[in-house]
Chains A and B, each alone.
Chain A
Amino acid sequence: MGALLQVESLNVGLRNGAGVVVPVIENLSFEVHSGRTTALVGESGCGKSMTALAIMRLLPEDFVITGGRIVLEGEDILSLSPKRMRALRGNGMSMIFQEPMTALNPLFTVGDQIAEVLRWHQGLSASAAHAQAVEFLRAVQIPALEQRVNAYPHQLSGGMRQRVMIAMALAGRPKLLIADEPTTALDVTVQAQIFDLLAKLQQDTGTAVLLITHDLGAVAELADDVLVLYAGRCIESGASADLVGHPRHPYTRGLLGCVPHLKLGQRMPAVWSDLGEIAGMVPPLGARGADCAFLARCRDASDVCRSRPQPMLEPIETDHAVSCWRKSEIAA
């Protein structure tokens, strides 16, 4: 069986004030399979959300897809009519946005908004839809549910809005669910519950999930496959356990070193030791040249990196590809 979603050599650009198109995403390729989770990982500004929006065909103005194909169940998304595209959003694919307010209508109660999705995609009666909407809200653990069903989005806290949006995204029973940093705003207990919930949904319905996150540490157990993006380019990809267990690219290794891990049952040393950090920041759009995009921040950079363009994303073993001139030297 083929992939549910195939992204092939996707290129996205931004038309700047002078009418010049600067690259935002370059040559990105990946697949998402039914019942499986693919994660896109990277610092903010690396192009994760733009990839998601390109798939949903919801890119903001001035952003253009300059090359590549996006295929969902054999349908080439980039050539679909707007009408077909609208039908696809919801039960073909749906998205949990990073900013919940962008997806919720401020004029309707959250219960009504979810019920609307259910009536539209499942043809339920008004009362059945409302009853199911309550069930979806219960599933995402909205406290004091009875009052919240009739609340407007602005009356909820950020975390609660996020949960409402998750409920709404699930209501259409999509084949592909794109989750853009779905739990960053939530506290840990709820995060754990939401991920359990997503996993259960995936098991029950075979939904394919494209998970977007900056937390590489969380990815190992949540995703089957991982792509690490840096400055709009995929610099490492592979099966998640392998990639997180044996990262090869200096950026991936840096990202893993940034995450503090809870240490249980052992006394911590009383003195502070700095967290690993990657000095500097992601080069902004328009300032990305042909050489390795990570060059300016890379501690492993050598002459070869400075004299040649960014290397191809090349397999280093089965299911693990890296774009780095020194990939073989950097021990796993």
Chain B
Amino acid sequence: MTALQTVQSSDDSDFLLDVNDLVVHFETGKRRPFQGPSYVHAVDGVSFRVRRGTTFGIVGESGSGKSTTAQAIMRLVPVTSGQIVFHGRNILDLAGKPLREVRKQLQIVFQDPFSALNPRRRAGDQIREPLDLLNIGSRGERDERVRRLLGEVGLPPQAADLFPHQFSGGQRQRLCIARALAPEPDLIVCDEAVSALDVAIQAQILNLLKRLQRERGLTYIFISHDLSVIQQFCDEIAVMYLGKIVEQAPTAGIFVEPRHPYTWSLIAAAAPPGPIRDELKRRYLVKGDPPSPVDPAPGCRFAQRCPSATENCRIVLPQLDAIRPHHYVACHRVGELDPPAFDAAAMGNPVQQSM
């Protein structure tokens, strides 16, 4: 990958966030004899741009680097190289007061609403905390804002005086969302924010997030391993595999014509039950283990499991190239491999898909 890619988009006000060739490596404890340290390539050259007021989804297997990408954007992990341009500025260069200013505009909601809250502090105080830390408004104004925020996420004002254990899982996630909203951010990263919730509460929270987006023009990065939630919720989707984006496209296109063999496998696993799913699984679901992210082999990251891999795939790393406007794929064989057909006739099966 070419190192210094310059930022051409800072004048482009359509995009709120521009992640440019982001690399996050973690040194592993083990040193091999006579060699340097080895590294977990958690995120290995990831670039994407997020349009203001939209939702950018990241999907991929466990360990593919979704959370690390999110945490790098939040400046919660050290970044090895790359740029994260937010509001036209590379925030990786910031420290001190300018960094605190940016932190107001960037918030995160985690998967586990319980460990994200302090068990010994009242709900209201925790929502106030970012306001206190970032010194926003007077005391009275902060209290007023806490009350308003509780209302916006569907909790009564008395909730401010309760402790986290007095709430259900879904209510705790509402608290986390209220806390993230408190400093009036532009961008909220939702890292598996609904994955731990049961389907009924998940639907409530997704509807809530969408309403808040409409009302406040929020931009989301939405991380999930649930493709049907991603499809419902996101405008654009990036599929990650072992630290890299292997396919990226608008939601409208990617479930009509996915082009990367790994995306096919994810879709096969998540397709609605029925003969089409069985056929998709038979043809596209990959088996075996994802390889280790420690010092990955050269070539396509997916080559070990890809049914279509050739010798070349194992040697040369495919670049993420546009196959049409806004649709990017990293696969040497994208031109030769036919995408899956989703209708019964093309699958050689007369049974109509129920839906």
Contact = CB atoms under 8 A, between A and B. Distances in A.
Contacts of B266: 188-189
Contacts of B231: 260, 262-263, 268
B203 A277 contact: yes
A258 B255 contact: no
Contacts of A281: 168, 170-171, 201
Contacts of B225: 187-188
A268 B252 contact: yes
A261 B210 contact: no
B273 A220 contact: yes
Interface string B269-287: 1111100100001000111
**B contact residues, range:** 35 or more
B292 A144 contact: yes
Contacts of A185: 195-196
B260 to A, nearest CB: 14
B216 to A, nearest CB: 15
Contacts of A255: 199-200
Nearest to B211: A274
Nearest to B346: A265
Interface in A205-234: 214-217, 220-221
Interface string A162-192: 0000000000000000000000111111111
Nearest to A142: B289
A254 interface: yes
B92 interface: no
A262 B199 contact: no
A263 B255 contact: yes
B199 A216 contact: yes
Interface of A: 43-45, 141-145, 157, 159, 184-193, 214-217, 220-221, 254-255, 257-268, 270, 272, 274-279, 281-282
15 contacts: A44-B168, A143-B289, A189-B269, A192-B281, A214-B200, A216-B199, A260-B229, A261-B355, A262-B231, A262-B271, A264-B267, A265-B341, A268-B255, A275-B203, A275-B206
Interface of B: 61-63, 168-171, 195-204, 206-207, 210, 214, 225-229, 231-232, 251-252, 255-256, 265-267, 269-273, 276, 281, 285-292, 341-343, 355
